[in-house]
Amino acid sequence: MKNKYLFIGGFLALSVFSGCESEFLERPPQDTLVDANFFQTNEQLLAASAPLYSVVWKDYVDKAYWALGDIRAGTLFRAWGNRDHVLFNTTEVSSENAEAYRAFYIVIGQANSLIQNVNRYAGADTSPEIRNQVIAEARFMRATAYAFLVMNYGAVPIIENNLDLLNNAEVTRNTVETVWEFITRDYLFAAENLPATPGQPGRITRWSAEGMLARTYLNRAGVGGTRNQEYLDLAKQYSERVIQSNAYSLLPDYANLFRYPYDNNAESMFEQQWVFTTDYGYANTMVSQLTYSNDIANGDGWGGDLSASWWMLSQYDGLMEDGFTNDRRLKATFMLPGFHYPEISQTVRDADGTERMQELIFPAPAPDGDASFANVKKYVVGKSEDVGGQSITQRYPNNTYMLRFAEMFLIYAEASLGADGSTNDAQALAYFNTIRARAGVPPLDGPITWDDIYSERVKEFAVEGLAWYDLVRLHYYNPQHAYDIVNSQDRGLFVVHPNRMPNPSSWEFAKTEWFEERTATANSGNFELPIPAAEASQAPGLRAEPIPYIFGG
């Protein structure tokens, strides 16, 4: 735990979240420390960047991370909650839409303020290397926020100087192409100025930035309607550089990516750094949203109807057809009846009402039940006693992944497709099958297609907020295929029956006959998220046609 507390000094010093209840575009953030006396040592500079690793992302990570990133993509579904996202009807007043937009601009505003403060106030005793590192951290975070913005909303305003808002009531959007160019420039600066190894556990490095460049060039390649081979080659180049850097390695056991404590492990390239504290802003609250029951939590556990979708379960090799799968990722990601999790304590009640504790055995529905859930396991860490006393209601200590090493292998494979429908590229196949090998499933001989890679990505990164952005990337150059994927998904209720309890060897899956809303409808009119109503009403210029951003220098 001591590594987590390296960041607390920065959290407490900046009190960065104190004024974030206002909409960002109403005025520049009021909650950044600007005392010139603060930025006088290297330690103070590093403390100033620490909040960019968690608290400024709070409104996004709590719910929008998975509500947009997974429910909208069809990997997760809810039978009763979040129906706007399940049915692809996200509106300008959907709460997670507003929370995500606000969070991204809070990140941008805080990053801009930090850059300005370092340039203006950094003392003579600070080193050029640390000054550049802190600015690079800020630009990395700003680029990440803008990547989420442009992929969710399309054209959005680029804001480099918060004070510009004071003199410009008519904030305007910038074109998708120039937003991506802005993102790329920020990541390139970060790659040039971040250290190759982290000075503190959890801090981003040059390789984190190069990994984001690999992702960026892959995403950017389809903007404009056709795949840009130069950008695909750069995606391959950067992903290969990270793979060959020896800076990271795949954890041998996929489940250990999410068994606490897993923070800042050998596979992690960028995580949100949460800590256990009574202050709501600095702890992980997403765990409360994902956990299916208070029986395995701390008085919370609100994800009772949050489940893998029928479509998601169909992606696991053999599961629907044979009743079981050898894919080890399933148990680490979702719970089926009879799955055991020794690392999590479960409160159970005997027939007389007496409570006792046991290791978690995910319960089965009644024999004649026609509705149940494959609830979320990923990020769920159990009760306080399961994490060394380091959690209470809505305050959990485990980090949130934003970039994992495994993604580099699948980026390389997807970039290798070029403009073709499939590839037999030997290196692409090897990297693709490296991910499958860890999962315990047999290799594919090739050729591999985009759909093969997408299926692998959703199994590898389910509940990590990425599946939606994979569809956005596809939509740039093949929108009809993106619509077809969404529109063909079964997003309805079902039941899972084990062949026996408590140690089943197979499961039967059946759709719930009385549940009618099983499909979504995606089209050109609803694929992008609408700008939240509160933002659009304050800045009518957001409804105007976007303009190219003018880059200085």
| Cα radius of gyration rounded to whole Å, the chain | 23
Rounded CA separation 410/305 (Å):
31
**pLDDT category, 35, cuts 50, 70, 90?**
low
**Segment 252-301, tens digit of pLDDT:** 999 999 999 999 999 999 999 999 988 888 999 999 999 999 999 999 99
Half-sphere exposure in the Cβ direction for 163 (13 Å, CA)? 3
The CA-atom distances, in angstroms, between 262 and each of 38, 251, 328, 355 are 33, 10, 17, 30
| pLDDT tens, position by position, 310-354 | 999 999 999 999 999 999 999 999 999 999 999 999 999 998 989
User: Is residue 347 a part of any domain in this protein?
Assistant: yes
Give the C-alpha separation, 3 to 275, whole Å: 10
Residue 278: what pLDDT? 81
Structural domain total, the chain: 1
**Which of 12-26, 129-143, 357-371, 454-468 is the least confident region?**
12-26
**Of 5-9, 149-153, 185-189, 460-464, which gets the smallest average pLDDT?**
5-9
- Name which of 507, 527, 406, 520 is nearest 456 in CA terms: 406
Contact predicate 297/288, CB 8 Å: yes
DSSP code at position 415 = H
Q: Can you give the residue range of the structural domain that contains 299?
A: 285-398
Structure tokens at 413: 């494979």
Tell whether 127 is covered by a domain.
no
Cα 347 to Cα 301, 356, 358: the distances in Å are 13, 6, 7
Rounded distance, CA 342 to CA 150, Å? 41
What is the distance between the alpha carbons of residues 331 and 313, in angstroms, rounded to a whole number? 11
Give Cβ neighbours of residue 141 (< 8 Å, ≥ 6 apart). Answer: 52, 56, 107, 110, 111
Helix (H, G, I), strand (E, B) or coil at 207: helix
Identify whether 301 is part of a domain.
Answer: yes
Given this model, what pLDDT does residue 285 score?
97
Query: Which tokens sit at 18?
Result: 């104190």
Spatial distance between the Cα atoms of 478 and 361, rounded to a whole number of angstroms? 43
3-state secondary structure 143-162: HHHHHHHHHHHCCECCCCCH
How long is the chain? 553
Residue pLDDT, tens place only, 117-174: 999 999 999 999 999 999 999 999 999 999 999 999 999 999 998 887 765 667 899 9
Q: What pTM was computed for the model? A: 0.94
Q: Is residue 362 part of a domain?
A: yes
- Gap between the Cα atoms of 25 and 169, Å rounded: 9
